[in-house]
Amino acid sequence: MRRTAALALTLFALVACGSPADQPPGAPADDLPSTSAIVEAVTKDDALAASLPAAITQAGELRVGSNIQNPPNNFYAADGKTPVGSEVDLVKAVAKKLGLAVEHQDMAFGSLITSLQAGRIDVTMAAMNDTPERQQAIDFVDYFTSGITIMVQKGNPAGIKSPDDLCGKSVAVNLGSSQETYAKEFTCLSGDSIGVTATDSDTQNQNQLRTGRVAAILNDLPTAVYVAKTAGDGEFFEVVDLAPINGGPYGIGVDKDNPELTAALQKALQALIDDGTYGKILEAWDVEQGAVTKATVNGR
């Protein structure tokens, strides 16, 4: 069994590596929830640890690939170097249950799956949707439910109330994301299409919306809500009051050649759900609306 086990989160996407300079304006990293005690309280499950692939046990850590620029899921603390966020806490808790440390590697979103398959990382966690298409490449341990949401300028000057109102307008999305696919495939009854500006940076997208070069940003629900609450102290953006579009799970993607790691991650996550640690982490980051009650593999 090769060591390319993984948590992966998108088959298509070329989002650039998130650096401190590229930190989204909606991510003030100096006022964070206190979650260290929650993670530190997790205890190792010896039986689960014994089920890990030998190479991971010997290494004593998970090399976690992520695109660290998506608050509250994953972003940098005020030092510009320390990854923080709900996903960061969750993967640390899962690793601790398995007796492992975590080493984060920041990389382009589009390279996560290929890096996983090449063995450069063991796992990735970056708000990747578990879809049938992606399941052809990797397996998923599902840990959260989200969907696409529409973020607009504060006051909604473009009057966007539904996806139909995007027709004839431009939207910003992350390159290669499910939001890009949705916008490009959306059928406009008016005959107009949605103009899609795909970039490799959340910061670029937010700047385009602030300056009116696009009418909206399509993003995942947790990130959009967090950015709308925090960017410019909540004065820059707002989220259109709609149910999440194409709602579905985020998944920890695991290389198909490593079913032992898939099983260990699923059982560790389920243990955290059952003992309340999972819920405490999500509540601390104000994303408990996306909580799941069962850690499934590929939605089953």
pLDDT digits (tens, 9 = 90+) for 233-287: 999 999 998 888 988 899 998 899 999 999 999 999 999 999 999 999 999 998 8
Cα separations in angstroms, 6 against 27, 53, 111, 124? 27, 12, 13, 6
Higher pLDDT: 220 or 166? It is 166
Residues facing residue 171 across a β-bridge? 196, 216
Amino acid at site 51: S
Enumerate the β-bridge partners of residue 172: 197, 217
Distance CA 202, CA 207 (A): 9
| Pairwise CA distance, residues 147 & 247, whole Å | 4
Is the predicted pLDDT of residue 26 greater than 80, yes or no? no
Supply the pLDDT for residue 24. Answer: 46
Q: Minimal CA–CA distance to 60: which of 7, 102, 92?
A: 102
Does the pTM of the predicted model rise above 0.95? no
Asked whether the domain spanning 147-245 has the same topology as the one spanning 20-145+248-290, the reply is yes
DSSP bridge partners of 250: 129, 144
Domain 147-245: give its CATH code.
3.40.190.10
Domain ranges of the chain: 20-145+248-290, 147-245
pLDDT digits (tens, 9 = 90+) for 119-160: 999 988 998 888 898 899 999 999 999 889 999 999 999 999
Helix (H, G, I), strand (E, B) or coil at 96: helix
How is residue 266 written in tokens?
């699923």
The Cα 100–Cα 290 span in angstroms is: 26
**In whole angstroms, what is the distance from residue 119 CA to residue 14 CA?**
19
Burial class from Cβ neighbours inside 10 Å (0-12, 13-18, 19+) for residue 152 reads buried
Domain 20-145+248-290 has CATH 2.40.160.60: no
